[in-house]
Amino acid sequence: MSEERITQLEERLAYIERFLDELSGELNGQVHRIDEVFRRLEALGDNTVDAGPADEKPPHY
């Protein structure tokens, strides 16, 4: 294999490694955002359970 070919392959490998690092960072950020969305959904669900049934008449009715 020629020296030029080895250099080209090394450059491609460096590009791919950098690209994978960027993708990994983005994926990690998305995981954190999704976790936050699930936490908020659970909190909303907890609030609606505490509110009681929607079809129940108010006590003064």
Is 51 part of any domain? no
Chain centre to alpha carbon of residue 45: 21
Is 58 part of any domain? no
DSSP, res 59: T
Is 37 part of any domain? yes
Q: For position 61, what pLDDT does the model report? A: 66
Report how far residue 34's alpha carbon sits from residue 56's, in angstroms, rounded to the nearest whole number: 34
Is 60 part of any domain? no
Q: What's the number of domains the chain is made of?
A: 1
| Domain assignment of residue 5, given as a range | 1-46
Confidence of residue 48 (pLDDT cuts 50, 70, 90): confident
The tens digit of pLDDT for each residue in 12-42 reads 999 999 999 999 999 999 999 999 999 999 9
Is 21 part of any domain? yes
